[in-house]
Structure 1
Amino acid sequence: MIDDTAKLRVAALIVAAGRGSRVGGSLPKQYRQLGGQSVLARTLALFERHPDIDSITTVIGPGDETLFQASAEGISKLAGFVTGGNTRQASCLAGLKALRAEKPDIVLLHDAARPFATPDLITRAIEAARRHDAAVPGLAVTDTIKQIDAEGFVTATPDRARLRSVQTPQAFAFDLILVSHLSAAAAGIGTLTDDGAVAEWAGHPLFIFEGETTNMKLTTESDFQHAEQFVSELAALGDVRTGTGFDVHAFTDGDHVWLNGLKIPHERALKGHSDADVGLHALTDAILGAIGDGDIGSHFPPSDPQWKGAASDRFLAHAVALVKARGGAIAHLDVTFLCEAPKIGPHREAMRARIAEIAGIPVDRVGVKATTTEQLGFTGRREGIAAMASATVRLPWH
């Protein structure tokens, strides 16, 4: 088990030794240009920027040294590179051996051809390894899967609810995955297609955490066409804005409160002209602040009787619509409650899901937290609830 009482040392091992034959051409796919950068350069930069990554080691193909050096320019966390083997499994083992002198606590093994993983995915991978020792990201399978025999006839239809398609970065306690790879190699097992399979073969429980739909692996020419479109869309939304919001509502008589779009039973209610959803009000102001378009009061004046008792999801949806009208997108929403009660923890995931639904964004782009004020001030005296929020918005450059 990983000792998490001290700061963990985390190494990233980028697997870039493949030739990418399904894409075609003489240039390995990890060195192809994508929006003015090589695929590998984009992948290395992702790990370079993450604050919890201490070092980056890359496994490259024989003769690719010059291509690699060009892609690795400016990567300060680079510990070096090692030449890979004939299979992905052999390349990963070569990289893990190179990391032995560093002795990291956790290693993340990531395909160079997945340049669109997010910092959030890396953070969750590290946490999953800390908790479970061996963990890989996975996505639920949406298509029905058929198992066939050598003649093409169906032999089984697995329950897709229990199936996952796995991605990288795959995260492990370093000693566990190193010993697993060494044992597999010693046993002559060399056809395992991912590091999770190596850990499974060695008898270790493997945990699946949620992956990302945008974390595509570039394998075919069609994948590169989609990736170019994706990069173009990101570049078009390069004006990144951050806004903040703050709201307060006092308690009054009642038996429930509205928080982040959920009706939560409580011994008191919140007083306000609308439904007094302090969380959604703060989020709405945060978005309006990011686009420089007034505040919630200017769009929905409390003096206007039409907003009496209105559901606050309308306010948040309006702010989101204003962003979309400018050709922009919501990148992230985060809200923190300051209150003694009700407890937010039991409702956190439902709140995240509701905000994501209103805003039309993935739930992994929503944060919900809560804290007390140690019984200080009006929230400490249980006189009301405060919420502060931030919104990150991407707009087109003009």
Structure 2
Amino acid sequence: MSTSKGPTLPRFAILVAGGSGTRMGADRPKQFMELLGEPVLLHTLRRFTESVLQVQQCVVVLPANQFTTWHQLCAQHGISIPHTVVAGGVTRWASVRNGLKFLSEPTEGIVAVHDGVRPLASTTIIENTYAAAAEHGAAIAAVAPKDSVRGLSKEGSYAMDRSRLRLVQTPQCFELNLLRRAYELPELPTFTDDASVVEDLHTIHLVAGDYSNIKITTPEDLVLAEALMRARQTAD
């Protein structure tokens, strides 16, 4: 990864953290659960504020009723990382749109949208996705499926060619005004991520992701994330 010249376009990040913790069976939202003694969301925030990435502004999108908890956690853990907290919406689409609205001043740049509970995205993946979006307009991290995949039909199921399939991750990076135009369109049920919002306007470029870039959704994910993070610390 080369960053010697730095990014040619300003970089921004929107971290979406709207989970309730229901599937975790926890007493708190999953973004606030502890991962090696610190909130998951703090680990994610650190990934995007590493100086080598040169992200100018980081927006954290949370449900309004979680603001107080996040501010308390920031004070408890001495978090001084510059970021802005914005209220989310009813859906992920609405939450991203609210975060995007906050970035009303920049006239150009590349914006990354990332899951707040995906704390293991490496600097390399983030840098590569920003750089690819600067070149292609829209780029997302993705990995090939490891398992065989089957589709469903009325008759049962059928084999699918997994070499033609990819599992989508975040970050997903876009030219700022392209993402703005996409989010001016009405929300559709088919919008499952930002790439699905943008793809009618622009081709989506794929960047090699990482199997360790997991999204923490279940208790097993948290155990795996801790093991992966400890392994990274040992390697460093």
1-structure distance, mates of 2:112, 2:215: 16
2-structure distance, mates of 1:206, 1:164: 12
String of CA shifts for 1:73-118, please: whole Å, max 9, x gaps: 2113x1x121111111111111111112234411000001110111
Report deviation, 1:71: 4.7
Aligned residue among 57, 68, 71 for 1:69? 71
Report deviation, 1:22: 1.2
Q: Give the structure 1 partner of residue 195 of structure 2.
A: 196
Q: Does the aligned pair in 1 maintain the 2:14–2:113 contact within 8 Å? A: yes
Q: Give the structure 2 partner of residue 48 of structure 1.
A: 49
Letter in 1 for 2:196: A
Q: Give the structure 2 partner of residue 117 of structure 1.
A: 121
- Which residues in structure 2 correspond to 1:153-192 (within 5 Å)? 153-154=156-157, 156-185=158-187, 189-192=188-191
String of CA shifts for 1:190-222, please: whole Å, max 9, x gaps: 55110011111x331111110011111101011
Aligned residue among 136, 145, 148 for 1:144? 148
Distance 1:179 1:20, change over 3 A: farther
For structure 1, list consecutive stretches of 5 or more residues without a partner in the other structure: 1-5, 238-328, 330-393
Letter in 2 for 1:26: D
Q: Does the aligned pair in 1 maintain the 2:16–2:62 contact within 8 Å? A: yes
- Which residues in structure 2 correspond to 1:206-245 (within 5 Å)? 206-235=204-233, 237=234
Report deviation, 1:24: 1.6
Report deviation, 1:68: 2.1
Q: Give the structure 2 partner of residue 58 of structure 1.
A: 60
1:168 alignment partner, SS class: strand
2:80 alignment partner, SS class: coil
| Alignment of 1:108 onto 2:139 | no
Report deviation, 1:232: 3.3
Q: Give the structure 2 partner of residue 130 of structure 1.
A: 134
Q: Give the structure 2 partner of residue 85 of structure 1.
A: 89
Aligned residue among 96, 100, 106 for 1:96? 100
String of CA shifts for 1:327-382, please: whole Å, max 9, x gaps: xx4xxxxxxxxxxxxxxxxxxxxxxxxxxxxxxxxxxxxxxxxxxxxxxxxxxxxx
String of CA shifts for 1:8-43, please: whole Å, max 9, x gaps: 110010001222321122310000011111000011
Q: Give the structure 1 partner of residue 36 of structure 2.
A: 35
- Structure with max Cα Rg: 1
2-structure distance, mates of 1:101, 1:217: 31
Letter in 2 for 1:28: P
Q: Does the aligned pair in 1 maintain the 2:112–2:174 contact within 8 Å? A: yes
1-structure distance, mates of 2:33, 2:103: 27
Letter in 2 for 1:41: L
- Which residues in structure 2 correspond to 1:289-304 (within 5 Å)? none
2-structure distance, mates of 1:91, 1:71: 21
2-structure distance, mates of 1:40, 1:71: 10
| Alignment of 1:24 onto 2:25 | yes
Letter in 1 for 2:198: A
Q: Sequence identity, in percent?
A: 34
**TM-score, normalisation: structure 1:** 0.54
What is the total number of aligned residue pairs between the two structures?
A: 225
Report deviation, 1:69: 2.1
1:182 alignment partner, SS class: coil
2-structure distance, mates of 1:129, 1:70: 35
1-structure distance, mates of 2:17, 2:116: 5
Report deviation, 1:130: 0.7
**TM-score, normalisation: structure 2:** 0.89
String of CA shifts for 1:53-79, please: whole Å, max 9, x gaps: 111001101211122224552113x1x
Q: Does the aligned pair in 1 maintain the 2:150–2:160 contact within 8 Å? A: yes
Distance 1:157 1:165, change over 3 A: same
Letter in 1 for 2:159: T
Q: Does the aligned pair in 1 maintain the 2:212–2:228 contact within 8 Å? A: no
2-structure distance, mates of 1:208, 1:221: 29
Stretch of structure 1 that moved more, 45-54 or 213-222: 45-54
Q: Does the aligned pair in 1 maintain the 2:120–2:229 contact within 8 Å? A: no
